[in-house]
Amino acid sequence: MNKPPRKKNPTFGIAVFIVVAVLLVIATLFYNAITEKRDFDRQNEPAAISSDAAAAAAAATAAKPASGAAQ
């Protein structure tokens, strides 16, 4: 009447542990990459803005007609 107790398979537990460990490593790599990219962008942002501002100022100056020019 009573069924004998089922033996647990330790391989399944090890496989789950390995999958979880690999996913944690991948998540850590993505987190570090995104954090480093944000830091890099934050450090290099003022140079990009100043060059864009200089280009816009040069374009605005070139668009103005010279004073005294015939219109």
Q: What integer pLDDT is reported at residue 70 of this predicted model? A: 61
Output the six-digit token pair for 4. 């004998």
**Over 60: is that where the pLDDT of 44 sits?**
yes
CB contact at 8 A, 71 and 65: yes
Q: Where are the domains of the chain?
A: 12-42
pTM of model > 0.85: no
Of the two residues 26 and 44, the one the predictor is more confident about is 26
Give the separation between CA 27 and CA 37, rounded to whole angstroms: 15
To 5 degrees, how large is the angle CA 57–CA 63–CA 68? Answer: 120
Give the separation between CA 16 and CA 12, rounded to whole angstroms: 6
Averaged pLDDT for residues 31-42:
96
How large a percentage of the chain has pLDDT more than 90? 46
E strand or H helix at 67: none
